[in-house]
Chains A and B, each alone.
Chain A
Amino acid sequence: MGIFRSRPKRTVLVCCGTGCLANGSLEVYRELEKMVKGAGYPMKVKAAAKATGCNGLCEMGPIVKILPDDIFYCRVRVSDVEEIVRETLAGGRVVERLLYTDPAAGKKVRSHKETAFYKNQLKIALRNIGEIDPENIDDYIQRGGYRALEKALSKMKPENVIAEMEKSGLRGRGGAGFPTGRKWRHCAASDDTPRYVLCNGDEGDPGAFMDRSIMEGDPHSIIEGMVIGAYAVGSRQGFIYIRDEYSLALKNMSAAIRQAKEQGFLGESIMGSGFGFDLSIVRGGGAFVCGESSALMASIEGRVGEPRAKYIHATERGLWDKPTVLNNVETWANVPVIIDRGSDWFSSIGTGGSKGTKVFSLVGKVQNTGLIEVPMGISLRKIIFDIGGGIPGGKAFKAVQTGGPSGGCIPGSMLDLKVDFESLSGAGSMMGSGGMIVMDEDTCMVEVARYYTGFLAEESCGKCLPCREGLRRMLGILNDICAGRGRKEDVDTLLEICEALREASLCGLGKTAPNPVETTLRYFREEYLEHIRDKRCRAGVCPALTQYYIEGSLCRGCGLCAKNCPAGAITGKPGDKYTIDPDLCIKCGRCRQVCKFGAVSIGGGAAV
């Protein structure tokens, strides 16, 4: 025992998730691989380089982790690689300057586990991402992959699998939050066949990239989840619907399916159980509405991606009118862990109505932008200020928009809200797929509502009248308000259209589309009134309603504003007070950004 145990190999993990790739991590990886293989330095412990999926702390990318030493380097450039190999891999020393500085403690930390960003997280769906090479099935298996499938196939009846899922309390992570176990039970109870199992990988929310990261970084967790689901409901064919823009996700998922087939985790008689299931990928054309379940199925069937009425559930009549289970990427990735560790363990995490964890893409005006996974019930404050590190530039927090484009904006007074399905909808927002966009004091909430309404109007399929025409007219009104043409009855008209949208729209896109407008009206109504009544945008975002001027008493006459003004609108002599010519000013706000004395102020615009 243990005598011939091989010495632990040192592994260098280079994050090749979306954010790090954009920052040049692939070049870092290639250089590392070259140097490690070439081994210009004698190494006591053999090292191997691996490209992994997203580590989450995209802000600090490219990220390089070294195991088993547990060293965490960030913002690594190609020019740093030689030093890492020489010092750390060959010499066993830490390169201090590449370590992460924890802003809370203000000191360098060696392991990522010591940082506030990671410490407060709990990774279930993202358990393997950043730890394994997604293109290598052995990496997945080494971390316990396909163990849950084996357990399900050899020790559990389909009925037990469903019961276990029900007991776990897992709810769909795609938006609606329908209990997964109950969905499976409905489907299994149907007497119709064939039955289908689908995965929704059509992530379309601006700023959201959690499904993408799982497909890219841990594709086998989805496959394993789907095979377990298929076994539970008695399906022999499944489809993964992936938006075509996600080329790396497509590549890694395809490779994973191929490997799973080769190793007998897909195909006829999986792991010798006699149960057979096959899986194919369908590429989506990038329409936001195709993330809606019935539109997604229409798209798989080869029809135009438009939703249909869902009074009859997909579990009864779904794809090709056959019983169908559709879950999203994150939901499927949770399944193997629940089967492996048991429903009691899973349901011990989270709140009464929302069990487990949720992945959020934390973006916007927050220090640590990135991908996080937190237990349900954590407060918004903890997410934004502890994990997220607060608002950059000393600015004040204003609102957080959750749940994607048709989510709502939650104000600062509600920062202690516990994040789960119920509390977010109670606040007029929603969990959605887990987008979380932080906004600071420089954000105009009317403009935010206008932006999202514009996005939704663009993405509405146009089938039903309230969504197609309602969003279009709401956008018209919001355009008017932001341009200083708002009328005093506009708020009522907006609310009237909101009601029609929410109550009368055909699908979820239309029903939730009023959220941005309704929540900003609920929490920031004063800003609307300022735009309409006073022709003023307090954030200085809406150009027609913004006047920049220099406070004479504060101006020191340094001339920095005039030097930076792209329109030549600022005049004055060094040492004197400078002034802005409102006719020439293009309201870009540059002067306000550069002024060191806070002398540039925003006033209301002239009535248009």
Chain B
Amino acid sequence: MKIIIDGRECSARRGEYLLDVARREGVYIPTLCHLDALPGQSCCRMCIVEVKEGGRSKTVASCVYPVKDGIEVITNSDKIQRIRKTLVKLLYASSPQGKHMEDLLERYGPLPESRFEADEGEKCMLCGLCVRACEKLGAGAISIINRGTAKEVAPPFKEPPEACIGCGSCAHVCPSGAIEMKEEGGIRTIWDKDFELLQCTCCGRYIMTPEQYEHLKAKDPESEVVLLCEVCKRKKSADGFRDAFQNITFKNIAHP
């Protein structure tokens, strides 16, 4: 199907989301809560665009809007720019120290003096990606608790979570740098819980927690979980390739 984004005709497939089409076409739409691996959060609302369909115009969140044939999309009208700026102001007041603010301030700043009292020191913008990541990996150690303005990300009873395997995925996906993860002397600390780290059997680098190792093994009992760091893993596969190619003779391959 054909759709028009900012005056340009683009092709799209049924079932695709507008944001994905726009990105493929090189059109910039800001997002905070969107990750290709964990799509559909749709809570930061920065990705709003105007869609004209059948003579009517509406504001939609492009990350979850399925494209329809013939729609016309405007990604940065005055209205959209104005609303995004309001959202940035609201965000700045509620998570001023979040890492996500750095890019935003560069693009939308400098902001006028805020009317609101800022939540000083707050980093989290409640996008919920950490919770999704944890859930998807099968640990489900943290969740979003409470409702509305009292909402926060926390482990059950705000105690070091029993179900946490210390994989650090939550901290890894967090766009705000709000989840603290420390590693010191072979100990990883996250969610107030200490994990001993296992070493790479090849180079001795600290790689994962025993809980994570067990979790991976339990998840797929068929495959072998190797205790290697990323670098050594790559080296090992390269060695594997070399060995494989050494045994190949090229006489059967006809040259042009």
Question: Is the pairing of A and B real?
Answer: yes
Complex contacts, B87 vs chain A, CB 8 Å: 465-466, 500, 504
Over the window 458-495 of chain A, the binary record of Cβ atoms lying under 8 Å from chain B Cβ atoms (1 yes, 0 no) is: 11111111101111110011000000000101100100
Are the C-beta atoms of A473 and B116 separated by less than 8 Å?
A: yes
Complex contacts, A463 vs chain B, CB 8 Å: 43, 128
Listed A/B pairs (27) with beta-carbon separation below 8 Å: A308-B42, A309-B42, A457-B148, A457-B149, A459-B147, A464-B42, A464-B43, A464-B45, A465-B126, A466-B86, A466-B90, A468-B148, A468-B149, A469-B149, A471-B148, A472-B148, A473-B93, A476-B117, A489-B115, A497-B90, A500-B87, A503-B59, A503-B79, A504-B45, A504-B61, A504-B87, A505-B45
Complex contacts, A506 vs chain B, CB 8 Å: 42-43, 45, 61
Is B83 an interface residue when CB atoms closer than 8 A count as contact? yes
The distance in angstroms between the C-alpha atoms of A141 and B178, with both chains bound, is 62
Is B200 an interface residue when CB atoms closer than 8 A count as contact? no
Is A311 an interface residue when CB atoms closer than 8 A count as contact? yes
Are the C-beta atoms of A469 and B91 separated by less than 8 Å?
A: yes
Are the C-beta atoms of A312 and B148 separated by less than 8 Å?
A: no
Are the C-beta atoms of A504 and B59 separated by less than 8 Å?
A: yes
Is A499 an interface residue when CB atoms closer than 8 A count as contact? yes
Are the C-beta atoms of A311 and B60 separated by less than 8 Å?
A: yes
The distance in angstroms between the C-alpha atoms of A558 and B144, with both chains bound, is 61
**Distance between A60 CB and nearest chain B CB, rounded to angstroms:** 39
Over the window 375-394 of chain A, the binary record of Cβ atoms lying under 8 Å from chain B Cβ atoms (1 yes, 0 no) is: 00000000000000000000
Q: How many residues belonging to B are interface residues under a CB distance threshold of 8 Å?
A: 34
Is A176 an interface residue when CB atoms closer than 8 A count as contact? no
The distance in angstroms between the C-alpha atoms of A232 and B207, with both chains bound, is 59
Nearest B-chain residue to A463, judged by Cβ: B43
Are the C-beta atoms of A493 and B66 separated by less than 8 Å?
A: no
Among candidates A311, A472, A500, residue contacting B149 with C-beta atoms closer than 8 Å: A472
Over the window 52-65 of chain B, the binary record of Cβ atoms lying under 8 Å from chain A Cβ atoms (1 yes, 0 no) is: 00000001110011
Is B129 an interface residue when CB atoms closer than 8 A count as contact? no
The distance in angstroms between the C-alpha atoms of A303 and B64, with both chains bound, is 20
**Distance between B87 CB and nearest chain A CB, rounded to angstroms:** 6
Contact A460:B66 (CB < 8 A) given known A309-B42, A465-B90, A504-B48: no
The distance in angstroms between the C-alpha atoms of A308 and B144, with both chains bound, is 16
Contact A470:B82 (CB < 8 A) given known A460-B149, A465-B125, A505-B45: no
Is B44 an interface residue when CB atoms closer than 8 A count as contact? yes
Please give the residue numbers on chain A whose beta carbons come within 8 Å of chain B beta carbons, in ascending order.
287, 289, 304, 308-309, 311-312, 457-466, 468-473, 476-477, 487, 489-490, 493, 496-497, 499-500, 503-506
Are the C-beta atoms of A503 and B93 separated by less than 8 Å?
A: no
Nearest B-chain residue to A473, judged by Cβ: B116
Are the C-beta atoms of B59 and A468 separated by less than 8 Å?
A: no
Are the C-beta atoms of A499 and B43 separated by less than 8 Å?
A: no
Complex contacts, B40 vs chain A, CB 8 Å: 309
Are the C-beta atoms of A459 and B90 separated by less than 8 Å?
A: no
Q: Which of B124-167 contact A (CB under 8 A)?
A: 125-126, 128, 144, 146-151
Complex contacts, B125 vs chain A, CB 8 Å: 465
Are the C-beta atoms of B44 and A462 separated by less than 8 Å?
A: no
Among candidates B42, B64, B149, residue contacting A462 with C-beta atoms closer than 8 Å: B149
Nearest B-chain residue to A467, judged by Cβ: B148
The distance in angstroms between the C-alpha atoms of A504 and B128, with both chains bound, is 18
Are the C-beta atoms of A459 and B148 separated by less than 8 Å?
A: yes
Are the C-beta atoms of B61 and A461 separated by less than 8 Å?
A: no
Is B75 an interface residue when CB atoms closer than 8 A count as contact? no
Are the C-beta atoms of A503 and B83 separated by less than 8 Å?
A: yes
Nearest B-chain residue to A307, judged by Cβ: B42
